[in-house]
Chains A and B, each alone.
Chain A
Amino acid sequence: MNKNNNKTGRIVVEVVMVLLSLLFLYPLFLTILNSFKSFSEVMTDVIALPKHLVFSNYSYVWQFINYPKLFMNNLVITVIGLLGIVFVSSIAAYKLARTKNRLSGIFYFLCIMPMLIPFQSIMLTVLQIAKKIGLSESTWGLGLLYWGFGAPLAVFIYHGFVKGIPLEIDESATIDGASGFRLFFSVIFPLLKSVTTTIVIIDVMWIWNDFLLPLLMVNGSPDTKTLTLAAYTFVGQYTSDWQYAMTAMVMAVLPSIVVFIFLQKYIVKGVVAGAVKG
C-alpha cells in the first residue's frame, strides 16, 4: 500500500515537473515560433501557431546583419581569447605552485586579487588603454584583452590543481633530460586536461556571450561586431518589427543551444567544477 502510494506520488511529481519545465522554456518556444511568422501575424496573435512558415525573415536578417561575418568575429575573439588564457595562465600557475618563496607568493596574490575588481569599476580606463595601445576596434585586439580578464580565475583553478600533482613527476622528467617548456608541455600539461576543459567551458560561455566589453571595444563598425552586439543594435533599429527582432535573437542564440545539446554533460560538469574550485 505504502509502496503503491509512493509510486503514484512519484508519477505525479514527474508530470508536474515536466509541465513546469515546459512552462519554463515557453518564452524560448514563443521566440522561435514568432521568428517564422509574418509581421501581421505577430501583431495579431503571438501564441498561435503560424499559418504557414515564413522563412524570409531568416534570409532578410542573415543578409542585413551579415551573419557569416559576425559568426567569424565571435569565433576569432573566442579562440584568441581562449588560447591565450589557457597558455599564459597554465604556465604561470604551474611555476607559481612549484616555486616556494616570497616573490612567488606575491605574484600569486597579484594574479588572483583582480577577481574582486568589478568590470564596471574599470571599464572606462580599460577602453582608454586599449585605444592607446591599438587594441580597440579590432577583433583580435579584443581577444588579446580577454587574456588579462580571464587569467585570474584560470590561474586560481590551475594553481589549486597543480598542487595536487606529485613533485616526483617533475623530478623524473628532469632526470630524463626535459626542462622548462618541454617539461611543462610534454609532461605536466597533459595531466591538466580535466581542469583545462573546465576553464575552456567557462570561458567560452563567458566570451561568446559577453556584452559590455565588446560594446565598448568593437561596436564601432559592422566589420568587428559580435553576434550579441548585432542583435542588440538590430532590435534598437527595429523596435516594432518583432518578427525580425525575434529572428535575430534566434540566430544569435542558436550556436550556443546547438553546442549545449551536444556537449551538455561536459558543460554542466565544467560549470560545477569551475564554481566549486573557484
Chain B
Amino acid sequence: MLKTLGRKWREKIEFGIFTLPVLICIAVAFYIPFAMTVRYSMTKWNGISKNPVFVGLDNFKQIFTGDTNFADSAWFTVKYAVLYIVLVNVLAILLAVVLDMKLKTTPWLRAAFFIPYILSLVIVGFIWKFIFMQGFNSLGESTGWSVFALSWLGTPGLAFISILLVSIWQSIGFYLVIYIAGLQSVPEDLKEAATVDGAGPMRKFFSITLPLLAPSITISVFMALTNSIKVFDVILSLTGGGPGGTTYSIAYDIYRDTFQNNLYGYGTAKALILFLAVLVVTILQLAFFKRREVEA
C-alpha cells in the first residue's frame, strides 16, 4: 500500500519535471504576454507613464468607427492574403507538375526555386528594392521596354503588386517542395490507367492529380493563410508602408501605432483583434478542409 503510494508520487513528480519546463517557457512567451495584452487593450497608455488609464472598450469602439488607418490596412491585408494564397498555390502546383516530369535538371530547378525561401524576408525586401529602383533603370535603358520605366514602388497600385510578387518569389519554393512531395505519392498506375482509358493530360490533371493532391493543398493553403495574414517584414523593407501610406498591413499598422506613435493601449487593442481574426479564420478553414477531404 505504502509502496504503491510512493510510486504514484514518484510518477507525479516525474511528470512535473518533464512537462513543467516547457509550460513555463510557453507561459513566459505566450500566456503572460497575452493576458497583459488583453488588459492593456482596455487602457489608454503611452508606454512610458506609470499607470495606464482604464478606458473600457473605448479603444475597440474607436478602431471600428473612426480609424481609417485600421480599415485601410485591414482591406490591404485581406486583398493581399486572398491574392497571395491563390497565386502562390496555383503557380506552385503548375511548377510542381512540370518538375514531376522527371526532367534531367529537376534537382537543380528545385534547388533554384527554393533558395529565396532560406533568406531573411527583410533582406529579400531590400534586394528587390534595389532591383526595382536601380536594376529596372538599367534594364529599361538597355531593352527600351516600358514595363521597366514604371515606378514599381512609387505608384499605389503597383507597389501592392510589387509586394505580392516579392512575397511569392521568396516563398514559392516552400510550396513547390510540398506539392512535389504530394505528387510523388500519387500512384503511377492510376495515371497510366487513365491514359489507357484515353484521358488527355488536362483531364488527367483535373480528375486524378488534383483530387489526390488535396492533403497537400490543405497544408499549403493553411500555411499561406497564416503567413499572409501576418505579413510585415517584406513591406517594412520594400516600401515602408508607402507610397502615401497605401501599403500598411494590419501587422505593420499595429507596429506603427505601438512603437512609432506610442499608442500602447490602442495598439494592443488592434493586436487583440488580429488574434481573433486569425483564430476565426483558422478554425473555419480547418473545419472546411476536413469536410472536403473526407468527401474526396
Please report A residues at the B interface, Cβ cutoff 8 Å.
10, 13-14, 17-18, 21-22, 24-25, 27-28, 30-31, 34, 42-43, 45-48, 84, 88-89, 91-92, 94-96, 99, 103-104, 107, 110-111, 114, 116-126, 128-129, 133, 145, 147-149, 151-152, 155, 180, 184, 205, 208-212, 228, 231-232, 235, 242, 245-246, 249, 252-253, 256-257, 260, 264, 267-268, 271-272, 275-276
Contact = CB atoms under 8 A, between A and B. Distances in A.
Contacts of A89: 22
A190 B34 CA distance: 36
B181 interface: yes
A111 B25 CA distance: 10
A268 B98 CA distance: 18
Nearest to A112: B26
A185 to B, nearest CB: 12
B114 interface: yes
Interface of B: 14-15, 17-19, 21-23, 25-34, 36-37, 40, 47, 98-99, 101, 103-105, 108-123, 126-128, 130-131, 134-135, 137-139, 141-142, 169, 174, 177-178, 181, 219-220, 223, 229-230, 232-233, 237, 250-251, 254-255, 258, 264, 267-268, 271-272, 274-275, 278-279, 282
Chain A binding surface SS class? helix
B30 A120 contact: no
A216 to B, nearest CB: 8
> B-side binding surface: helix, strand, loop or mixed?
helix
B232 A272 contact: no
Contact of B223 (A124, A208, A249, A275): A275
Given A10-B101, A17-B103, A91-B21, A242 B29 contact: no
A136 B126 CA distance: 27
A137 B212 CA distance: 49
B23 A107 contact: yes
A268 B112 CA distance: 12
A84 B101 CA distance: 42
Contacts of A256: 118-120
A263 B242 CA distance: 38
Contacts of A46: 134-135, 137-139
